Amino acid sequence: MLLKKYPKEVQQILSKYPPEGKRSAVMPLLFLAQREEGYVNKAAMQDIAKILDITETDVASIVRFYTLYHDKKAGKYHMQVCTDLPCALRGAEEFLDALCDNLGIEVGETTSDRFLTLEAVTCLAACDKAPMFQTQGPDGIKYHENMNVDKTMGLISVLKKSVT
Ligand code: FES
């Protein structure tokens, strides 16, 4: 499917790696697969495994390890709050709980308007600036540091206006 749909792009990606190291192309191929629907579906994972001569489990483990890849349909935006220990010590968990209350969803869920999926993730390398999160959406990946719930709800309103 991926190869059929994007033959040029797939060949372009593969040409950057020596044949014996083609498994290294897994990341850009996943990025290509995710481009259309915002997540990598099972068929695409099977496709990538076939193209690279690796197992589907190898591909799935990469998707699940990196916060930039998603294996489920989600909202237009992913809001990924770091709750690792340094951030937790600066109130990240309370912040996330309060966000859940304000949005009316639990961690891992998507708002009913399918605008936002809220996730808890591990270190995003801004440990002294918690509460912090990254957004992934049509405008790319953005960091938001030293946040509070009011600022975050304001940001969500601005994002909604900018994409509707
Ligand atoms: S622990 Fe949260 S950004 Fe590092």
Which of 83, 84, 119, 133 most suits a substitution to test ligand 1, by most atoms within 8 Å of the C-beta?
84
Tell me what the pLDDT averaged over the chain comes to: 94
* Ligand 1 lined by 96 (C-beta under 6 Å): no
Residue 162 CA, ligand 1 centroid: distance in Å: 28
- How far does the centroid of ligand 1 lie from the alpha carbon of residue 78, in Å? 17
- Ligand 1 centroid to Cα of residue 20, in Å, is 36
Confidence of residue 50 (pLDDT cuts 50, 70, 90): very high
Of 123, 103, 107, residue with least CA distance to 115: 103
Establish whether residue 84 lines the binding site of ligand 1, counting it when its CB lies within 6 angstroms of any ligand atom: yes
Average pLDDT over residues 116-123: 96
Is the CA virtual torsion 102, 104, 109, 114 positive or negative? negative
Which tops the pLDDT comparison, 164 or 70? 70
Query: Residue 6 CA to chain centroid, in angstroms?
Result: 22
pLDDT at residue 149 greater than cutoff 70: yes
Query: Which stretches does DSSP call E strand in 77-154?
Result: 77-82, 116-121, 133-137, 140-144
Contacts of 22-29 with C-beta under 8 Å, sequence gap 24+, read 22/52, 22/53, 23/52, 23/53, 23/54, 23/58, 25/51, 25/52, 26/52, 26/54, 26/58, 26/59, 26/62, 27/62, 29/2
Using the atom order of ligand 1, give the atom closest to the CA of residue 84.
1
Say if ligand 1 is within 6 A of residue 124 CB.
yes
Q: How confident is the model at residue 63 (pLDDT cuts 50, 70, 90)?
A: very high
C-alpha 77 – ligand 1 centre gap (Å): 20
pLDDT at 21: 94
Cα separation, 82 vs 127, in Å, equals 9
Structural domains in the chain?
Answer: 2-65 (1.10.10.1590), 77-163 (3.40.30.10)
Of 140 and 25, more confident: 25
- Contact yes or no for 11/4 (Cβ under 8 A): no
How many C-beta atoms surround the C-beta of residue 161 within 10 A?
8
Structure confidence at residue 41 (pLDDT): 92
- What average pLDDT does this structure show over 39-62? 95
The mean per-residue pLDDT over the stretch 83-87 comes to: 97
Q: Is 123 in the pocket of ligand 1 (CB under 6 A)?
A: yes
3-state helix, strand, coil in the chain (%, to 5): 50, 15, 35
129-147 residue pLDDT tens? 999 999 998 888 999 999 9
Q: What is the pLDDT of residue 164?
A: 66
